[in-house]
Amino acid sequence: MKRLIAKRLIHLLPVLLGMSLAAFFIIQAAPGDFFSQMALNPEISPETISLMKQEFGLDKPVAVQYLYWLKNLALGNLGISFSYHLPVTTLIRFRLLNTLSLAFFSMMLSWLIALPLGVFAGYRERSISDRLSSAFAYLSISMPSFFLALLCVYLASKTTFIPIGGTRSVFDIDAGLWSRFVDYFKHLLLPGLVLAFVNIGWLFRLMRNNFIEAYGSPYIRAAWAKGLPVPQIIFRHAFKNALNPMFTILGLEIGSLLNGAALVEIVTNWPGMGSLMLDAVLSQDLYLVMGSLIIGGVLLIAGNLIGDLLLMANDPRIRLS
């Protein structure tokens, strides 16, 4: 198993390299010369400009610039944001936590609802409850996340207890850790619920199909013939097998969660990577754009890796071959 992990990590290197190249290429493709743009901006001090020049070799030929870029990436230096006048990594660090907590919360919620519902619907295939839940799933997959988010913001504005936007309300600075956590969570609710809702649909269908397939497998008939108690047959045998393909999905879901989260964040004013990215694009703050893009890619790779590891842990056929 360790060999498998090592193999995967080694395979990652060219991908990471390619990623850095792609990002670098995108920066280079942007029209105009950074230098002149930066020099014209009165807010950027000459010291900053010369620092950037040094660190990124902005006056050297392109190929050399790429090597500088690579070196900086490895060191964790993603450049300086033109609009915020802060290192890109600092900015990302703040926002990343928010995006991750949003993604994690909605993922947990959607999985906790979609998976049992999928098993339930799969077990009672073609019954009324199956058809109802499938119809609900349709609703979920067709619903545009931003529309639902706007709708929820509208509804929430008509009430007083659901906070909209931001991560904390303005109140007592000395509030204890617990009440701050609760407050954060209350702000997380709106975007979290919206994001969870749009993901439940496809997760449900996937789980339902997996369960139906697993339940129709020969070893389930053998389990019946062996006289195992019914709950054991359903939950231990069918469910475990149905869950198997879901682990790779778990990894892949990080990517789609980042996407979905970004749009929802922007619309609900949740300060995460998505809104950072948008700000960067609107102010053409290219190093910030690149930094966010790279972090996004890294998160996706990490997610895939975790998914693969979980799959290996669950499926002995992959673990021991």
Partner 1 sequence: MKIFLTRLNACGFFAAAGFWSLVALYLIALCADLLIPYPYDLQMRDRAFHPPIRIHIMEKGQVRIPFVYQSTLIDPVGKKYQEDTSQRYPIRLFAQGVERKMFGFWKTDRYLFGVSEPAGIHLLGTDMYGRDIFSRIVCGGRISLSISLIGVILSFSFGMLTGGISGYFGGVIDQIMMRATEILMVFPSFYLMLSLRAIFPLSLSSVQIYLLIVVILSFIGWAGLARIIRGMVLSIREEEYVLAARSVGVSHWRILFFHILPNTFSYAITAVTLAVPGYIVGEAALSLLGIGIQEPYPSWGNILASTVGNLRILSDAPWMLLPGLAIFFVLVNFNLLGDALRSVFDPKNW
Partner 2 sequence: MKKILSITSLSVRHRERMILNRVSLEICEGEVFCLVGESGSGKTTLALSLLRLLPPGLSLCGGSIFFMGKDLLKASAKELFYIRGKEISMVFQEPSSYLNPLFTVGYQIIETAAAAGASNPEEAAIQAFGEVDLPLKFFKSYPHQLSGGMQQRVAIASALVNRPRLLIADEPTTALDVITTEQILSLLDYLRKKFSLSVLFITHNLPLAFRFATKIGILYRGELVESFSPASQYIHPYTALLFGSGKNLAGYCSSDDSTLTGCTFYQFCPERERRCAEEKPKIFLSGTHAVQCWKAASQSSFSPLDRNNENA
Task: Identify which range of 39-47, 81-89, 289-297, 313-321 contacts partner 1 by CB under 8 A.
Answer: 289-297
- Tell me which of partner 1, partner 2, none is bound by residue 316, counting a contact when its beta carbon lies within the kind-specific cut-off of 5 to 8 angstroms: partner 2
Distance CA 101, CA 192 (A): 9
Query: Which of partner 2, partner 1, none does 320 bind, CB closer than 5 to 8 A by kind?
Result: partner 2
199 within 8 A of 106, measured Cβ to Cβ: yes
**Spatial separation of the C-alpha atoms in residues 204 and 181, rounded to whole Å:** 30
Residue 205 CA to residue 215 CA, distance in Å, equals: 15
314 binds, among partner 2, partner 1, none (CB under 5 to 8 A by kind): partner 2
Which residues between 259 and 318 bind partner 2 (CB under 8 A)? 314-317
Residue nearer to partner 1 on the CB measure, 233 or 277? 277
| Under rule CB under 8 A, residue 90 binds partner 2 | no
Q: Applying CB under 8 A, does 151 fall inside the site for partner 1? A: yes
Work out whether 267 is an interface residue with partner 1 (CB under 8 A). yes
Under the binding rule (CB under 8 A), the answer on residue 10 touching partner 2 is no
At how many degrees (to 10) do helices 88-123 and 177-215 cross?
40
Please report whether residue 228 would count as binding partner 2 according to CB under 8 A.
yes
Can residue 222 be called a binding residue for partner 2 (CB under 8 A)?
Answer: yes
* For helices 286-314 and 240-268, angle between their N-to-C axes, nearest 10 degrees: 160
Considering the complex, state which of residue 177 and residue 225 has its C-beta at the smaller distance from partner 2: 225
C-alpha distances (whole Å) from 275 to each of 162, 243, 246, 285 are 21, 34, 30, 13
Tell whether residue 218 is a contact of partner 2 (CB under 8 A). yes
Q: Facing residues of 87 across strands?
A: 80
- Taking the CA atoms of residue 96, residue 97, residue 100 and residue 106 in that order, the dihedral angle to the nearest 10 degrees is -130
The entry of partner 2, partner 1, none that residue 217 binds, CB within 5 to 8 Å by partner kind: partner 2
Reduce the DSSP state of residue 262 to 3 states and report it.
Answer: helix
Let me know: does 98 contact 91? Beta carbons within 8 Å.
no
Question: Cα(268)–Cα(152) distance, rounded to whole angstroms?
Answer: 9
- Indicate whether 147 belongs to the interface with partner 1 (CB under 8 A): yes
Residue 255 binds to partner 1 (criterion: CB under 8 A): yes
Report phi then psi at 53, rounded to 5: -55, -45
Would you count residue 223 as binding partner 2 (CB under 8 A)? yes
Of 3 and 158, CB closest to partner 2? 3
Structure tokens at 195: 């994001």
Interface with partner 2, residue 227, by CB under 8 A: yes
- The verdict on 231 binding partner 2 (CB under 8 A) reads no
Residue 228: CB minimum distance to partner 1, A: 28
SS (H, E, C) 199-239: HHHHHHHHHHHHHHHHHCCHHHHHHHHCCCCHHHHHHHHHH
**Residue ranges in contact with partner 1 by CB under 8 A:** 14-15, 18-19, 21-22, 26, 29-31, 138, 141-144, 146-147, 150-151, 153-154, 157-158, 164, 255-256, 258-259, 262-263, 266-267, 269, 273-274, 277-278, 280-282, 284, 286, 289-290, 292-293, 296-297, 299-301
Residues that bind partner 2 (CB under 8 A): 217-219, 221-229, 232, 237, 240-241, 244, 314-317, 320-321
